[in-house]
Structure 1
Amino acid sequence: MTTTAGHTGPVLVASDLDRTLIYSRAALDLTMPDTKAPRLLCVEIYEGKPLSFMTETAAALLPELAVRTVFVPTTTRTRKQYQRIQLPGPASKFAICANGGHLLVDGVSDPDWHRGVTRRLAEECAPLAEIRSHLTSVADPSWLRKERVAEDLFAYLVVERELLPEGWAKELSDWAEPRGWTVSLQGRKIYAVPKPLTKSAAMREVARRTGARLTLAAGDSLLDADLLEAADHGWQPGHGELADSGRHAPHVTALTRRGVVAGEEIIRGFLERAATVAV
């Protein structure tokens, strides 16, 4: 964990975005009657269409969180994908993109951080070209919709989830693991990510630069597991890979709420925990 005993620095909040704080229409999981559904605010437009949402209550709470803490949006998205998001409140000084491959400072990638990451990947993992070649060779055109490389750091597939053969992702994971790569299935995307490419490493760097006395984190997928384990306290929603696996560390709160309302509960949790820390 990243706390510095006796330190008087700020509280740092590093939160995953997709399916943690913001939600696509397919991930909203609004199971209540329509008349009881929360009002939503669109926070991302893509190709002229609304793509991602928060509840209006969550959107109203987020600016307060950004003022009271060092709020660090933390995502597997590329920088370009991240920049489409318009979160309420002041712009964050720090953001973590590409699963830790880029540390943004005032919107600009820190070149020294990125060079250090790429050097470590070259030393410890099978090359991206090998992983990408295998992905395309074992994917079936009947369910594969797109194959992409993100920031020259990792690869992912966009698939028709209902047509994906049972066990296919597990077989891919078994193949990738000894090559130093991790596989994560999130919605319609299958990610292949180098093991050293982590959100937690970037969070620790922000904690070092800011002198944070307490680190809080949230996330829903296996790619968020290291982030949650590295924080002093974490939250995970009642959906996603982590919830499905039943996995959570003792200092991580496993919520039962699912979908966009879980995002609202996570922000409340951040605020309540930050309030317990003396200014």
Structure 2
Amino acid sequence: MTILVASDLDRTMIFSEAAAAMPTPGVHDLVCVEHFRDQPLSYMTRAATGLLREVTDAALFVPTTTRTVEQYRRITLPGGPHRYAITSNGGNILVDSRPDEHWRAVVELRISDSGAPLDHVTGELSRRIDASWVHNFRVAEELFCYLVVDLAAVPVAFVDEWTQWANDRNWAVSVQGRKIYTVPVALCKSAAVAHLRSRLETRPECRDGVTVVAAGDGALDAELLQYADNAIRPRHGELERIGFHTPGLQITAAKGAAAGEEILRWMLALTAAHRVRGRPFVGQTATEPEP
């Protein structure tokens, strides 16, 4: 049995220094895994870096993030480089760091066939915001958009009202830290994971099937956690705030970077029984089949 571990990154595997320390200030022994403009940005605990290497040895670890390709490439994850990654909330599947153009075309067709177009959404959003509380308004790879905001200054009714407007047009809204994402419902991580799973199942090495293990903390991870055969979320973040549950879902006891460690230990326990010794692991050295 092949284990595909699809894990969100920010606030699930990697953390800002402040987020890593919640709820206990002064967490030490952090290892920087991302720099931006020569400044340290994201961290894991030293223990987590070792655990992630073990998970990568035991399973096919697939970083699965809402970050764009460019933002994802700033991260140096232990155990990498990873053969596959899913970025842009499922909009891109990277194979050996290169976007799969076939999958991107499939995604664009799905989005165009459902919901309001991106320019309509961004135009409406522009009319509802102002510089007193929005620091940045960004369009990500012509797929979705997000705001970087001053959370304390966001108008009280904005998120609820914007969510309702977006939902009526088949878009979803997610608040993750200082970012407010607006994403087409057709753009989802689970679809990309399902596509990758189906490709792996064509391989002789995967004749016994592919089991999906998933982790995530935000509303944009909810459908991935529902899709997975085994799923876990940390006891912090957007899903914790809304009280998200799905059958079989595990929830960590810890918060912050300690939750990241707990998630990795749980993943290791699941994959330990399926470790294949003495042969290359599927997906890391085998030839990639045609899509």
TM above 0.5: yes
Which segments of 5 or more consecutive residues in structure 2 lack a partner in the other structure?
202-208, 277-291
The one-letter amino acid paired with 2:233 is Q
Corresponding residue number in structure 1 for 2:30: 40
Measured in 2, the distance between the counterparts of 1:278 and 1:158 equals: 42
Corresponding residue number in structure 1 for 2:10: 18
Cα contact 2:135–2:147 (8 A) shared by 1: yes
Measured in 1, the distance between the counterparts of 2:80 and 2:58 equals: 11
Corresponding residue number in structure 2 for 1:5: none
Percent identity over paired residues: 45
The TM-score, its normalising length taken from structure 1, stands at 0.93
1:237 is aligned to 2:234: yes
The one-letter amino acid paired with 1:208 is S
- 1:39-92 CA-partner distances (Å, limit 9, x unpaired): 110000001100000000000111111111010000000000000000011311
Corresponding residue number in structure 1 for 2:249: 252
Corresponding residue number in structure 2 for 1:106: 96
- 1:151-173 CA-partner distances (Å, limit 9, x unpaired): 10000010001111223111101
Between the two proteins, the alignment pairs up a number of residues equal to: 269
Deviates more, 1:99-108 or 1:201-210: 201-210
The one-letter amino acid paired with 1:144 is V
Cα contact 1:40–1:56 (8 A) shared by 2: yes
The one-letter amino acid paired with 1:271 is L
Shift of 1:21: 0.2
Cα contact 2:232–2:250 (8 A) shared by 1: yes
- 1:167-208 CA-partner distances (Å, limit 9, x unpaired): 311110100111110000111000000001000001111111
Structure 1 counterpart SS, 2:168: helix
Measured in 2, the distance between the counterparts of 1:130 and 1:20 equals: 32
- 1:238-265 CA-partner distances (Å, limit 9, x unpaired): 1111111111112110123111111111
Query: What is the 5 A alignment of 1:14-163?
Result: 14-32=6-24, 34=26, 37-163=27-153
Cα contact 2:232–2:249 (8 A) shared by 1: yes
1:219 is aligned to 2:216: yes
Corresponding residue number in structure 2 for 1:4: none
Measured in 1, the distance between the counterparts of 2:144 and 2:275 equals: 40
Shift of 1:114: 0.3
Deviates more, 1:60-69 or 1:193-202: 60-69
The TM-score, its normalising length taken from structure 2, stands at 0.89
Corresponding residue number in structure 1 for 2:285: none
Cα contact 2:230–2:249 (8 A) shared by 1: yes
Shift of 1:134: 1.1
Query: What is the 5 A alignment of 1:186-205?
Result: 186-205=176-195
Cα contact 1:243–1:254 (8 A) shared by 2: no
- RMSD over aligned CA atoms reads 1.3
Measured in 1, the distance between the counterparts of 2:25 and 2:118 equals: 46
